[in-house]
Amino acid sequence: MIKKRAAVYHVDSGTGDVWPRVNHWLPWLAHFDRPHLAGAAWATCQEQIIAPYSDLPALRRQQQAAPGALASIVAFDPADWRLVRLDLWREPPQSPVQSGQLFRVGHLSAPFDHTAPRVDSQT
């Protein structure tokens, strides 16, 4: 049985024991507009199911940072065979979010100076 609590899925083994499901993603693309990242006020999250027998290397090569986004992260979810995309924006996107959600960013914690480790896979 799967139970959803506070946007986290829990697995019930039938014995009444409930523990959180561990979600993990393999990052395929990480792009940050570092000088402007602190201005992020909106986030979009989109998920796309990956068809069986898809060419994963080709799919990975197709991924690009969203034009105008302050940050774009694209990751592969190997447990559910999904592509997960998170983009941060200064203003809400003009076009409607396809198969995803729009969030208002309340706080973003990150060092915005030279001490931040480089994680960009593309600039």
Predicted confidence (pLDDT) per residue in 58-104, tens digit: 999 999 999 999 999 999 999 999 999 999 999 998 877 777 899 99
- Could you give phi then psi for residue 119, rounded to 5 degrees? -125, 0
Residue pair 27/83 in contact (Cβ under 8 Å)? The answer is no
Residue 9: what pLDDT? 47
Give the tokens for residue 10. Answer: 């829990």
Domain segments of the chain as ranges: 24-123
CATH code reported for the domain at 24-123: 3.30.70
The pTM assigned to this predicted structure is 0.73
C-alpha–C-alpha distance, residues 99 and 40, integer Å: 21
Residue 58, SS3?
A: helix
Predicted confidence (pLDDT) per residue in 32-56, tens digit: 998 898 899 999 999 999 999 999 9
